[in-house]
């Protein structure tokens, strides 16, 4: 089976990064995590990458005079390693149209709500404040909007009357750790077809 090189972008603890690492170890080898990029030196996810023997680098926006120069540096690192897919895993920056044009249909994100509901930050608290009975998580392709790209996979999670943000977030995170690696594998195996806003899972 052909193996594709992916990069994972992080800003914090990297629990979704760990789920992707674990999945690549356990499964058929269709995915190779070639690089982890963080915009923060203190991101705990860098320790996860190091422990797994994955190359990583820290690229801080403050070190560049413009956002485009910052993204040019990231793109350079990706091109050196023939990266075919970028997986955002708690990366707390929006990528510009310039960056996305270099990786059209090749950037994924995981979001802790059933999009298109509750986009942006603090999605779990948004769900609780609205009073929904079902929330969940979504893997989607990234476009120029905030959490507006075509949906790849979703998983529903019940919201209980006694939930707070932390308890709901913890249950959603368990499902994130399942569907994000699954979506990446589907992409790596050529099983995803983008048709307008729809992502179709191919059988062959």
Query: What pLDDT, in 10s, does the model give residues 173-182?
Result: 999 999 999 9
pLDDT of residue 24: 87
Domain that includes residue 203, residue range = 110-204
Counting every residue written for the chain, the total comes to 204
- 111 catalytic residue (yes or no): yes
Using CA atoms, how far apart are residues 179 and 176, in angstroms rounded to an integer?
5
pLDDT of residue 204: 60
Q: pTM value? A: 0.95
Residues 88 and 146 in one domain: no
Choose one of 84, 104, 124: the last residue of a domain.
104
Which positions ≥6 away from 7 have C-beta within 8 Å? 33, 34, 35, 36, 37, 77, 78, 81, 83, 85, 86, 87
Choose one of 56, 82, 104: the last residue of a domain.
104
Residues 99 and 114 in one domain: no
Overall average pLDDT of the 6-31 stretch: 91
Residues 140 and 59 in one domain: no
Residues 9 and 27 in one domain: yes
Report the number of distinct structural domains present in the chain.
2
* Residue pLDDT, tens place only, 136-167: 999 999 999 999 999 999 999 999 999 999 99
Residues 51 and 114 in one domain: no
Choose one of 42, 76, 104: the last residue of a domain.
104
Residues 81 and 22 in one domain: yes
Residues 96 and 2 in one domain: yes
The enclosing domain of 146 has a CATH number of: 3.40.50.170
* Residue pLDDT, tens place only, 94-135: 999 999 999 999 999 999 999 999 999 999 999 999 999 999
Q: Which of 106, 111, 140, 177 is catalytic?
A: 111
Overall average pLDDT of the 38-52 stretch: 97
């Amino acid at each position: 089976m052909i193996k594709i090189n992916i990069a994972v972008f992080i800003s914090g603890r990297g629990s979704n990064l760990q789920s992707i690492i674990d999945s690549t170890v356990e499964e058929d080898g269709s995915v190779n995590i070639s690089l982890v990029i963080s915009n923060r030196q203190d991101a705990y996810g860098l320790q996860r990458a190091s422990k797994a023997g994955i190359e990583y680098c820290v690229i801080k926006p403050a070190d560049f005079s413009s956002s485009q120069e910052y993204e040019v540096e990231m793109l350079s690192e990706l091109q050196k390693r023939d990266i075919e897919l970028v997986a955002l895993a708690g990366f707390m920056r929006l990528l510009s149209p310039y960056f996305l044009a270099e990786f059209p249909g090749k950037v994924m994100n995981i979001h802790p709500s059933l999009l298109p509901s509750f986009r942006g930050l603090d999605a779990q608290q948004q769900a609780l404040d609205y009073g929904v009975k079902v929330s969940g998580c979504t893997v989607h392709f990234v476009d120029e909007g905030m959490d507006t790209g075509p949906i790849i996979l979703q998983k529903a999670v019940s919201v209980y009357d006694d939930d707070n943000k932390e308890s709901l977030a913890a249950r959603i995170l368990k499902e994130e750790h399942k569907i994000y690696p699954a979506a990446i594998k589907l992409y790596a195996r050529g099983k995803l077809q983008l048709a307008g806003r729809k992502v179709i899972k191919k059988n062959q």
